[in-house]
Amino acid sequence: MELFFSNYVNSGTTQIWTEAFGNIEDPAILLISGAGSSARFWDNYFCKILSEKGFFVIRYDLRDVGLSTSFDKEIVSYDLHDLAVDILAILGFYSIDKAHLIGHAMGGFIAQEFATNFPYKTITLTIIASSPIQHTPILNKPLTSEEKNIFDKTLEVMNDNLPNVSFEQSLENYLNVWEYLNGKVPFDKDIAYHYTKDMYNRSFNRVGVHTNHLAIVKQVQQMAKTNHENLNELKVPTLIIQGDEDYLVLPRIGGFALAEVLPHSELKIIPKMGHMFFNKDIMHKLCDLILEHSTLR
| Ranges of each domain in the chain | 3-295
pLDDT for residue 1: 44
pLDDT for residue 134: 92
pLDDT for residue 227: 67
pTM summary value: 0.95
pLDDT for residue 232: 86
pLDDT for residue 34: 96
pLDDT for residue 12: 96
Name 8's bridge partners: 17
What is the CB neighbour count within 10 angstroms for residue 285? 18
- CATH superfamily, domain 3-295, is Alpha/Beta hydrolase fold, catalytic domain (3.40.50.1820)
Whole-number Å distance between alpha carbons of 203 and 198: 8
Q: What is the pLDDT along the chain (297 residues), one digit of tens a residue?
A: 455 689 999 999 999 999 998 999 999 999 999 998 999 999 999 999 999 999 999 999 999 999 999 888 778 889 999 999 999 999 999 999 999 999 999 999 999 999 999 999 999 999 999 999 998 889 889 999 999 999 999 999 988 877 777 888 889 999 999 999 999 999 999 999 999 999 889 887 777 667 788 888 888 888 888 766 688 889 999 999 999 999 999 999 999 999 999 988 999 999 999 999 999 999 999 999 999 999 876
pLDDT for residue 208: 67
